[in-house]
Copies of this chain bind each other. A is one copy, B any other.
Amino acid sequence: MEIKIKTPLPHGGRLVDRVVRNPELGKKMARGCPAYDIKPNLYNGMPVRNVYREIMSICYGFFSPVEGSMTQAEVERVLKERRLLSNWIFPYPLVFDISEEDYKKLGVSVGDRLLLRLKGQPFAVLDIEEIYEIDPQEIATRTFGTPENNPEVVRRAFDTKHPGYVIYLSLNRIVLAGKYTIINEPRLRPPFDRFWYPPAKSREEFKRRGWTTVINHQTRNVPHVGHEALLRNAAFTGDTKPCDGILVNCIVGAKRLGDYPDEAIVEAHEMVNLAGYVKPQRHMVTMLLWDMRYGNPLESLLHGIVRQNMGCTHHMFGRDHAAVGDYYDSYATQILWEKGIPSFGFPAPPNAVEYGLLIRPQNMAEFWYCPHCQEVTYSENCNHLDEIQRFSGSFIRSLLSEGLFPPPVIMRPEVYKVVVKWWKQFGYPFNNKKYLTEREKELEVDLAPMDI
């Protein structure tokens, strides 16, 4: 029998590292190139995506083996089979899109190098391999699937109420395909700086901590007690003993109105260990720059890739993983990881196909509070179905917006204080229009001035 689980190789065999750390080399690479200022994609006037986050996640290796904006053939293969041209599985098209107007202004063609500026400073270059046109509506629909084409898990047609769908709808029609290289390394701004662990660094940190088995907890939320129960209990899987470490990887990027601000999310998760609910030695909070697509099973693939690249051996998946609304089956992600979804190109689970993943799923049912058990308990255990109380994120948010202190059985008091801290900062506990618009100017990074 198989003995001792090991840290998995990165997806595709090696970590992508497309960051030039020598500023002189960076300058030289960009000299004489036409320049373009990165701007967020808008939908209905609201920012929904900023390609800078994809460039960061690609160049720092989170999305290994992806190295840049995909060619037309690669987008086609991803949409058909969820595989890159190199055969490695990948769920989403990732492209560098610009408007026809900008394209004409730039006057670039295949073989050119384009300098990308962020916050007015040189940031990265894109070596153009191909230029082609897309139909955003078609890409949006094919990215997420349809009830007709993906009857195993898609329950209804995607529409503009879905925040991932509108990201693809918001794309400009011209795509410049090619590899990115960061030439002016951005500095993460507080509080994000201390949560920034690109895969090479997180793998190093795991080694330093003596972690082999590490389970990832995906989050885009301030943790309530139910989230914490999921996180702690899922970690009882492992090898010959429970997982050595729990990696919390927070999605930081464009969010929806009414979500918690990302600053509160990362610090609230950190508070779980600072306040001793999971020992800091066993718990590590990190982040991923990503404008979430909410693609449930497809998003879980991206999560598997990112966290395998970070060095995790396991990934927990709950009900409605990375989902919004009822477009997908509530258990679509677990179906993918239990038996596969043939219509999405997976006749078997993503870690049982060639060029697939090496990370292991921990598919979890629900946690609820049971007054009879007098504790948070697991739906496969507790049989007091007349008495149970389900956790409700919207209930907690309604308590908060009324200014009520949530009971400790719902939210840890220390975690609540983190929410209040950022509430005071932003004037409202949840993302409003002002926050979402401002953050696309501020972003999560600062760039040192670089004269080319």
A residues with CB within 8 A of B:
1-3, 232-238, 240-242, 273, 276-280, 282, 334, 337-338, 348-349, 351-352, 358, 360-365, 372-376, 378, 380-384, 408-409
Contact = CB atoms under 8 A, between A and B. Distances in A.
A363 B349 CA distance: 28
Contact of A363 (B241, B361, B364): B241
Nearest to A408: B374
What 10 pairs between A and B have smallest CB-CB spacing? A276-B383, A236-B236, A241-B363, A2-B2, A279-B383, A3-B352, A278-B381, A237-B237, A240-B361, A276-B384
Contacts of A237: 236-238, 242
Given A351-B1, A373-B277, A409-B374, A241 B338 contact: yes
Number of identical monomers bound together in the oligomeric complex: 2
26 contacts: A1-B358, A3-B349, A3-B351, A3-B352, A234-B236, A235-B236, A236-B237, A236-B362, A236-B378, A237-B242, A240-B338, A240-B360, A240-B361, A240-B362, A241-B334, A241-B361, A241-B363, A241-B365, A242-B380, A276-B372, A276-B382, A277-B373, A279-B380, A279-B381, A374-B408, A374-B409
A42 to B, nearest CB: 40
A280 B381 CA distance: 9
Given A376-B375, A381-B278, A382-B277, A349 B409 contact: no
A378 B232 contact: yes
A296 to B, nearest CB: 17
Contacts of A378: 232, 236, 242
Contact of A241 (B364, B372, B384): B364
Contact of A277 (B241, B273, B351, B381): B381
B234 A383 contact: no
A408 B371 CA distance: 12
Contacts of A376: 375
A276 B378 CA distance: 12
A1 B350 CA distance: 11
Contacts of A233: 233, 236
Given A1-B2, A279-B383, 6 more contacts: A235-B236, A237-B242, A240-B360, A242-B364, A282-B380, A374-B408
Contacts of A409: 374
A240 B279 contact: no
A240 B374 contact: no
A360 B238 CA distance: 11
A241 B361 CA distance: 7
Contacts of A351: 1, 3
Contacts of A276: 372-373, 382-384
Contact of A240 (B337, B383, B384, B408): B337
Contacts of A279: 380-383
